[in-house]
Amino acid sequence: MTGQVKIHPGKIIVYSLLIIFAIIFFSPFVWMLSTSFKASTKVFLNPPQWIPDPFQPENYIEVFQRMPFLKYLKNTLIVTVIPVLGQLVSAPMVAYSITKIPWKGGKYIFPIIIGTMMIPWQVTQIPLFVTWSKLKLVNTFVPLTLPAFFGAPYYIYLMRQFIKGLPDSIIEAARIDGASEIRILYQIVYPMCKTVLTTVTLLVFIGCWNDLNGPLIYLQDGSKYTLSIGLQNFLTTTKQEWELLMAAATLFTMPLIILFFVAQKQFISGIATTGLK
């Protein structure tokens, strides 16, 4: 006689709620994707038409004809990939120095780093623009990429929380063997920080990809515009052509969705291991 499977009412309720909320949060994306393939006369049908009929992929061709999407994509990758590399270099270095290197300044510097997180960006926006303007670097990608190589407080905090939990015995053994701190960082600590490095990569990428304020302030030449500015301009030019706007928004959003699903396991693991809830 086979054993009976026990059904826990609590789990049924939890999974049911998860399914309901998943449908609620995923519905806007499905509607955006569906609308991007519709004809203009089918967008506001009542009841709504979830499956496009007729199916109209020509909307995407129209988007490419009306905006220099590939140029915006190249600019967006520049102001996104370079900051990712910058944070992956600087944040672990700062976190390691204030966590695993025994020196008196570490315990004083970390509270200062955390304290800067309480300063709103609106306070530093004008002084930073004046500084970059006097350096004649406005209308270049430098203001959007160079600061990442000096670390950001939040990513330093994430790295610090993870590195703090690494065993000191491994690092001490490397020091006894004569390894320098740089070698310990990149050959020992880095491989053990794969999950949190993936988390930092994903967060920085998404933040820079979606950033509208920075490019809008520092980029004045249309040939240097990013996708966020291009999408904003496209919104004003398409007027009531919602099917084209949804097609452009889908092209803008799809890389982030693909990236998140590819790195989802590492991202969740990295958030969990840093002690964040």
Ramachandran angles phi, psi of 19, nearest 5°: -65, -45
Containing 269, the helix (H) or strand (E) segment is helix 264-273
Three-class secondary structure of residue 162 per DSSP:
helix
The class level of CATH for 61-273 reads mainly alpha
pLDDT of residue 138: 92
CB of 144 closer than 8 Å to CB of 220: no
Report pLDDT for 47: 83
Cα(57)–Cα(240) distance, rounded to whole angstroms? 18
Which pLDDT does position 277 carry in this prediction? 45
Q: How far is it, in rounded angstroms, from Cα 202 to Cα 190?
A: 17
3-class state of residue 119 by DSSP: coil
Domain ranges for the chain: 9-58, 61-273
User: How far does Cα 209 stand from its chain's mean position?
Assistant: 7
pLDDT at 1: 46
- Using 70 as the pLDDT threshold, list the residues of the chain that sit under it: 1-7, 264, 266-277
Separation CA 157–CA 108 (nearest Å):
14
- Are the beta carbons of 132 and 142 closer than 8 angstroms? yes
Distance (Å) of CA 239 to CA 63, 66, 155, 234: 14, 13, 39, 9
Give the pLDDT score at 233: 85
Query: How high is the pLDDT of residue 143?
Result: 94
User: pTM of the prediction?
Assistant: 0.83
- Tens digit of each residue's pLDDT (9 = 90 or more) over 104-117: 777 788 888 888 88
**Based on the number of CB atoms within 10 Å of its own CB, is 213 exposed (0-12), middle (13-18) or buried (19 or more)?**
exposed
pLDDT for residue 205 = 93
Q: According to the model, what pLDDT value does residue 129 have?
A: 93
- What is the rounded distance in angstroms from the CA atom of residue 135 to the CA atom of residue 163? 36
3-state secondary structure (DSSP) of residue 260: helix
Q: How many CB atoms lie within 10 A of CB 125?
A: 13
Q: pLDDT digit string (tens) for 62-72? A: 888 888 989 99
